[in-house]
Amino acid sequence: MTLTRTDAVSSSPLYLGLNLQASALQAGLGDGFQISLSDLGIPLDNVDSAQEVLQALRQILESARMIAADLTSPLVAAGLAVPAHVHPAHGSLTLSTERNAMWEGLQVAGWLQQELGLPVAVESEIIAAAMAELKVGAARGASEVLVVKIDATIQAAYWHHGNFVRGAQGFFGNLGHLATGNSDLPCSCGHLGCLEASASTDAILDRFFAAAEAAEIELEEGDMPETAEAVFALSQKQHAIAAAVLDDVAFDLGAGLASAVNLLNPQKVVITGAPIYLRPEFFQQVVRDAGQRMLPGCAAGVQIVPAMIRENPECLGAMILAKERFG
């Protein structure tokens, strides 16, 4: 692996940004403001223990240290974004995920710092993504910002005058479990009517097949989507069921965002996550539907905008967090 030496990077302190996902550990190296090398990641195939993840982290860290030595730059700290909430008091993960349940209860920051010999900032993936938008993206300069990440789950981070709101136990931001009552499909939490069961990527696919079954329509082979992206593609071909499902998803997502705006009254709402939600036509439909449900006082001046950081914002945000805390 080679990296071209540049004046902006050479001899400057370096920070490592990491993003733990179900199938990969993404990693990037940079100066704390922008990632200069983003191909340090490692696939996590059939990983079922924290020790195996640690081994992948060690491998990435070794590569990062070699690059830093080549650039005669100190590697100061690392930031790790995880698919869980991080307890505000003692730093342990307080919400396991079915993808990474082995991390439940682990005080990750201290453990990694001891194992890797490097200061490590650990945050949830939504806070990491929000930090990227706050420092170099669509939320830059705003003091009251709600960042919403939509993919297989729906999460939110709220930046309030210089700090993230975390809640008493660190569970703030479960926007996907806002009860909208608009879905008969079960949510991952076991309840009905959650926004996540109405508007996540998994929900789009589930709602498509449920609508086809309710209409007693036998789908042709070419009309059997395997992803939410495929449902969007069908809607662009004027597929009636796909178009109707996406209209309903936009309405439900708009209603959920309106509820959040009515509750928190932010200056700005930034939407990040799966690229399908940022498609201009769909995005504008969501904004219109949200606007119709907002209270006038909350709607006045609020902006709902797409994220600017489209490529791995969690890694960038984790790197920025490392610089903020240890730089």
Q: Is 80 exceeded by the pLDDT of residue 309?
A: yes
Output the pLDDT for position 104: 61
Output the pLDDT for position 115: 83
- Per-residue pLDDT, averaged over 156-173, amounts to 92
CA–CA distance, 157 with 126 (Å, rounded to integer): 6
Cα-based angle 124, 128, 131 (whole degrees, multiple of 5): 140
Burial of 81 (0-12, 13-18, 19+ CB in 10 A): buried
195 CB-near residues (< 8 Å, 6+ apart):
154, 175, 176, 177, 178, 179, 180, 252, 253, 256
Q: Give me the chain's average pLDDT, please.
A: 87
Output the pLDDT for position 86: 81
pTM of the model: 0.91
Per-residue confidence band for 103, with pLDDT thresholds at 50, 70 and 90: low
Per-residue confidence band for 221, with pLDDT thresholds at 50, 70 and 90: confident
Output the pLDDT for position 1: 29
- Per-residue pLDDT, averaged over 205-228, amounts to 86
Q: Is 90 exceeded by the pLDDT of residue 47?
A: no
Output the pLDDT for position 89: 67
Half-sphere exposure of 111 (CA within 13 A, CB side): 16
- Per-residue pLDDT, averaged over 162-174, amounts to 89
DSSP one-letter string for 261-303: HHHH--SEEEEEESGGGG-HHHHHHHHHHHHHHS-HHHHTT-E
Q: Is 70 exceeded by the pLDDT of residue 9?
A: no
* 3-state SS class at 225: coil
- Per-residue pLDDT, averaged over 160-174, amounts to 90
CB 222 within 8 A of CB 233: no
Count of beta carbons in the 10 Å neighbourhood of residue 116 = 17
Q: Calculate the dihedral angle through the C-alpha atoms of 263, 183, 104, 320, rounding to the nearest 10 degrees.
A: -50
User: Residue 102 has what DSSP assignment?
Assistant: G
CA–CA distance, 26 with 88 (Å, rounded to integer): 24
Q: Is 90 exceeded by the pLDDT of residue 154?
A: yes
* 3-state SS class at 150: strand
- Per-residue pLDDT, averaged over 59-84, amounts to 91
Report the top-level CATH class of 14-132+312-326: alpha beta
Assigned architecture for domain 140-306: 2-Layer Sandwich (3.30)
Phi-psi region of 72 (alpha: psi -120 to 50; beta: other; left: phi over 0): left
User: Would you kindly state where each structural domain of the chain is located, as residue ranges?
Assistant: 14-132+312-326, 140-306
Q: Which residue has the tokens 């730059």?
A: 73
Per-residue pLDDT reduced to its tens digit, 18-27: 998 878 899 9
Burial of 306 (0-12, 13-18, 19+ CB in 10 A): middle
Per-residue pLDDT reduced to its tens digit, 226-278: 999 999 999 998 899 999 999 999 999 999 999 999 999 999 999 999 998 99
* Fold match, 14-132+312-326 / 140-306: yes
Q: Is 60 exceeded by the pLDDT of residue 95?
A: no
In the chain, which ranges are E strands? 14-20, 24-30, 35-37, 42-43, 75-82, 120-124, 144-150, 154-160, 163-164, 268-273, 303-306
Q: Which of 36-50, 73-87, 102-116 is least confident?
A: 102-116
Percent of the chain residues past pLDDT 90, beyond the cut: 60
Output the pLDDT for position 242: 93
CA–CA distance, 270 with 142 (Å, rounded to integer): 11
Output the pLDDT for position 60: 92
